[in-house]
Each structure stands twice: as C-alpha cells, then as structure tokens.
C-alpha cells in the first residue's frame, strides 16, 4: 500500500474493489486543511496544489484515493 506523505491526520481507512488490492483512503477536506495550516497556503492555493501535486501524482495501482466525505446529510 502507498501512503500519502504528510497527510497522516487525513487517513480515514482503506478502499477495496473487486480484483484489485486495497488502497489507502484520505479525507480530501482534511488534506486541504493540512495544507492551509501547515504550509500557510490560502484555500485556493491549497486546492490547486492538491489537485495537481497530490491527486495528480499517479504512483501505480496502489495510488491512494482522496474522498469527499458527506457529513450530516439529515
């Protein structure tokens, strides 16, 4: 399994699909929060950096997934 370096606090679990190994899953919003707080980016900078350099970083079949979690759907 490949982990996203620097985003340990955003790790939420594993994703699995038929026929492939489990991959690490991260909370996208928490990742953005980490970039804003840790790296001093504003929100728009964090989104651009994250989309290009994190989500866009293909490291093979074990590349992590980044999920938008739906909370409080009541």
Contact (Cβ atoms closer than 8 angstroms) between residue 5 and residue 35:
no
- pTM over the 0.85 mark: yes
In whole angstroms, how far apart are CA 29 and each of 17, 21, 23, 42, 62? 23, 25, 18, 13, 21
**pLDDT of the chain, 74 residues: tens digit per residue:** 899 999 999 999 999 989 889 999 999 999 999 999 999 999 999 999 999 999 999 999 999 999 998 876 66
Contact (Cβ atoms closer than 8 angstroms) between residue 7 and residue 53:
no
Contact (Cβ atoms closer than 8 angstroms) between residue 61 and residue 21:
yes
């Amino acid at each position: 399994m490949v982990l996203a370096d620097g985003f340990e606090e955003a790790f939420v679990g594993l994703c699995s699909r038929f026929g492939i190994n489990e991959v690490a899953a991260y909370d996208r919003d928490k990742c953005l929060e980490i970039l804003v707080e840790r790296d001093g980016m504003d929100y728009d900078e964090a989104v651009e950096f994250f989309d290009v350099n994190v989500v866009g970083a293909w490291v093979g079949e074990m590349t992590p997934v980044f999920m938008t979690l739906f909370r409080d759907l009541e």
